[in-house]
Amino acid sequence: MNPLHRRDAEAFTTLDRSEIRELAHPQGAPVVAQSLAEARVFPGQVTVLHRHHRTEELYHILEGAGLMTLGKEQFPVSPGETVIIPPGTPHCIENPGPQVLRFLCCCAPAYSDDDTELLNA
């Protein structure tokens, strides 16, 4: 098995209204228990408050600045920071800034629309 996976994935909009490119997912890569995506939230946008019942997520901020809602907390995020999102925790991210907010999103188990509950769509 080749451990290097390169995927020129097309960007698409997820249920929470962020734009993502899947970099690795069990449906298209030799990965079994997790997924990795690059997400973008454009200036003035906020994702839909949602939660995943089984999935733990990590958001690692690459560019831009955001305002993260995690449960009842809200706090700023910036490049180099990683947000840990436990299963069942309501969350969303807002981009109040002038540039695109770009982050990596790692999900374990892998992301699934079936595990995504929108809370204020």
Would you kindly state where each structural domain of the chain is located, as residue ranges?
13-118
Architecture of domain 13-118 in this structure: Sandwich (2.60)
pTM, rounded to two decimals: 0.87
- Enter the tokens of residue 19: 């734009």
Query: For residues 38 and 25, what is the distance between their CA atoms, to the nearest angstrom?
Result: 12
Per-residue model confidence (pLDDT) at position 69: 97
With CA atoms as reference, report the closest residue to 57 among 91, 23, 16.
91
The answer to whether residues 68 and 74 touch, using CB atoms and an 8 Å cutoff, is yes
Per-residue model confidence (pLDDT) at position 6: 55
Per-residue model confidence (pLDDT) at position 13: 79
Q: Per-residue confidence of the chain (121 residues) as pLDDT tens digits?
A: 445 555 567 787 777 778 888 887 777 777 778 989 999 999 999 999 999 999 999 999 999 999 999 999 999 999 999 999 999 999 999 999 999 999 999 999 988 889 999 998 5
